[in-house]
A and B are shown apart, each in its own frame.
Chain A
Amino acid sequence: MTYDPGIPKPGNDIAEDQPKILVNFQQLNTQFGVNHGAFDDGTVPGKHKHVTLVELSQAEIDALEPKNDEIILYGAEDSAGNTEIYSKQHQQTATQFTKAGIPFIGMKPQASANFGPGAGPFPRAAVVSSSFNVGSVSETADGQYTVTYTNDIVDATGAGTNNYYWSIQGFDDQNNPVIGSPETDSVYGDVVKKGSIKVDFRNQNGTLVSSLTRGQLIIWSVQ
């Protein structure tokens, strides 16, 4: 049974059109209720339960012409072959808004940790105050830490990579500069790995900082 916009028809007997009118109301309620609280919903009528965007064809995308002061969100296939959300504003080229489950900005953070020294003999577990995608932080020497990721750092194709970007800040309570970086005086591939990174914190003389209180780390990769 489908919606019939031609109901009721002039000249038809009401008894003939009445069931078709009922079908029309039922179809309106059913189809509106796919993404919305349906007309007969007792709690959220009209509000969106969710918004499902079907993938538009290129011809449909080309026909999108938002007017001034309008924005259109739509679904389209991206370069990876996935249906993603795009936005288009008046007289602007479209922008990809999502990619593989997160907003798309070209880069994405993949791990982070706010941590401090632990207790006991080296290598000792660090105290992690907050983190994302970090399974553990261990202190291998004064001012030296190994941060192990829960999941490997990956490139845009999903393959593990050690070609990523880092930001490292250090803090101690002494009057020193504290410069955080991947562990120096080492081979890059031994220090920066897809599954972990070794970092150290040194002062102006290149000496490892023994009084480090906190380290802050973020790892980024191409999205």
Chain B
Amino acid sequence: MRENFTRILQAWDQDHVSLLSDQGERLGMHERLTMPEQAAAPSTAANEVAFYSQNGQASDVYYRVESDGASGQIISDRFVALNGLKLEAYCVFNTDNGGFLSAPTLEKSEDGGTVIGEREIKSFNVSSVTPNLAQDPSGFTVNFSPEISTADYFAVIDTFRLKNVIGGVNGFMQIKNNATYSDSCTTAKLELENRDLQGGGSLISANLNFSLVSVQIWTPSQ
């Protein structure tokens, strides 16, 4: 009987608040979910949904809808999997110096209200954005850390224009074209450049056109 109690304690304590815990109100709760990979999706009855792990790109997290329905991937190699794609990096940077956009966080006050907290940088897996020229930058290098899983990614590039078009300058931020693809798009960086659509397509200063540039890097998750 003592052997049974010992095994129950050890197995229970693997993922749950310990049976020996003095945190009475938390007894029975989970501390974590440790899920060894399963060979196949678990069966689900009506009005049930199940989490489990399978080997995808790593030990990834999946879930299966009710009544043995379709299984979907939730986590793909550290990233949220979204219907076949995963977002590996993003940032919003300003065109004056490549600095990241930051915004104040909202924090809870002692009385339960909301107060404005410290400013927080809005980027994910982007270590820095470097202007290609210190003065009058026409392009930027977006540096990833950790590196993107493939250089054959899908970039989404958008701009915010604070100013009206100046003196016939109408810029367009794009992947740096006056190079080979493997120079511009690598797992470690993405090179961007700004070109004048009205002035023959020549390189122009980015901060004549835009205040902010947003970049998202998506890759396949399956």
Partners in one complex: yes
Query: Which residues of chain B have C-beta atoms less than 8 A from A100's C-beta?
Result: 65, 70, 72
Kindly identify, within residues 186 to 223 of chain A, every residue whose CB is under 8 Å from any CB belonging to chain B: 203-204, 213-214, 216-218
Q: Is the interface of B mostly helix, strand, loop or mixed?
A: mixed
Residue interface mask A72-100, B partner, CB < 8 A = 1 = 00010100001111000001000000101
Q: A46-B10, A169-B155, A177-B195 are in contact. Are A109 and B82 (CB under 8 A)?
A: yes
Please report the C-alpha to C-alpha distance between residue A175 and residue B184 in the assembled complex, in whole angstroms.
Answer: 13
Which among A21, A39, A77, A179 has the highest number of chain B CB atoms within 10 Å? Answer: A39
Query: Which residues of chain B have C-beta atoms less than 8 A from A15's C-beta?
Result: none
Residue interface mask B26-54, A partner, CB < 8 A = 1 = 00010001111010001010011111110
Kindly identify, within residues 72 to 122 of chain B, every residue whose CB is under 8 Å from any CB belonging to chain A: 72-74, 80-85, 112
23 A–B pairs (Cβ distance < 8 Å), ordered by A: A25-B4, A32-B12, A39-B8, A44-B36, A45-B7, A46-B13, A47-B35, A53-B48, A67-B25, A84-B65, A103-B81, A114-B152, A130-B153, A131-B220, A171-B174, A171-B181, A176-B177, A177-B177, A177-B201, A178-B174, A214-B181, A216-B153, A218-B218
Please report the C-alpha to C-alpha distance between residue A50 and residue B201 in the assembled complex, in whole angstroms.
Answer: 56
Which among B84, B178, B184, B202 has the highest number of chain A CB atoms within 10 Å? Answer: B84
* Cβ-defined partner of B50 (8 Å) among A28, A52, A103: A52
Please report the C-alpha to C-alpha distance between residue A175 and residue B157 in the assembled complex, in whole angstroms.
Answer: 19
Please report the C-alpha to C-alpha distance between residue A77 and residue B48 in the assembled complex, in whole angstroms.
Answer: 10
Please report the C-alpha to C-alpha distance between residue A18 and residue B35 in the assembled complex, in whole angstroms.
Answer: 35
**Smallest CB gap from A107: residue in B:** B82
- Asked if A46 contacts B82 (CB within 8 A), the reply is no
Question: What is the interface of chain B, defined by CB distance below 8 A to chain A?
Answer: 1, 4, 7-8, 10-15, 25, 29, 33-36, 38, 42, 44, 47-53, 63, 65-66, 69-74, 80-85, 112, 150, 152-157, 172, 174-175, 177-181, 184-185, 195-198, 200-203, 218-220, 222
- Asked if A112 contacts B218 (CB within 8 A), the reply is yes
- Asked if B195 contacts A48 (CB within 8 A), the reply is no
- Asked if A110 contacts B36 (CB within 8 A), the reply is no
Query: Which residues of chain B have C-beta atoms less than 8 A from A130's C-beta?
Result: 150, 152-153, 219-220
Kindly identify, within residues 160 to 184 of chain A, every residue whose CB is under 8 Å from any CB belonging to chain B: 167, 169-179
Query: Which residues of chain B have C-beta atoms less than 8 A from A77's C-beta?
Result: 47
Please report the C-alpha to C-alpha distance between residue A90 and residue B25 in the assembled complex, in whole angstroms.
Answer: 15
Q: A51-B50, A130-B219, A179-B172 are in contact. Are A218 and B154 (CB under 8 A)?
A: yes
